[in-house]
Amino acid sequence: MLNTRAQWNSMDVSRELRSKYIYHLERETHQELHANVPPVPLLGYTALFRVLNTIQPRHDPAHDIDDLLFSIDKVTRQSNTHPIERELGLLSIEAIELQRPYIMDDIY
């Protein structure tokens, strides 16, 4: 869900976060997702740590997507979050929301 792979695997913290949100989709669905949805921007370094420390994934997309979005939203609303990190968080939320129907329709 957190793509592009090279970007999200560039740091230990982002790689660990990404690894918690990998779902196996049918090839056709996966290709459609990438053709129609922009990549999720890499969160700022501080936001990555904060999100990683607040998520509780269960490898159930219905729960995990909501949990991740809630965590990103919570982190980006903190008063000490830099405006650029806040914008990256909002863009990430939007990109993840665009992925939701592909993931949910394919898995359920």
User: Please, what are the averages of pLDDT over each run of 10 residues along the chain (108 residues)?
Assistant: 84 93 92 94 92 94 96 93 92 96 88
In sequence order, the 6+-apart residues with CB closer than 8 A to the CB of 70 are none
Which pLDDT score, from 0 to 100, does residue 103 have? 94
Structural domain total, the chain:
1
Q: Report how far apart, in Å, the C-alpha atoms of 107 and of each of 8, 47, 103 are.
A: 23, 29, 6
Which pTM was predicted? 0.90
Q: What is the pLDDT of residue 54?
A: 95
- Find, among 36, 43, 57, the residue nearest to 15 by Cα: 43
CA distance 77 to 61: 24
Structure confidence at residue 11 (pLDDT): 92
Range of 70's domain? 5-107
- Residue 2 has a pLDDT of 81
- Supply 36's token pair: 């129609």
Instruction: Note whether 24 and 15 are within 8 A (CB).
Output: no
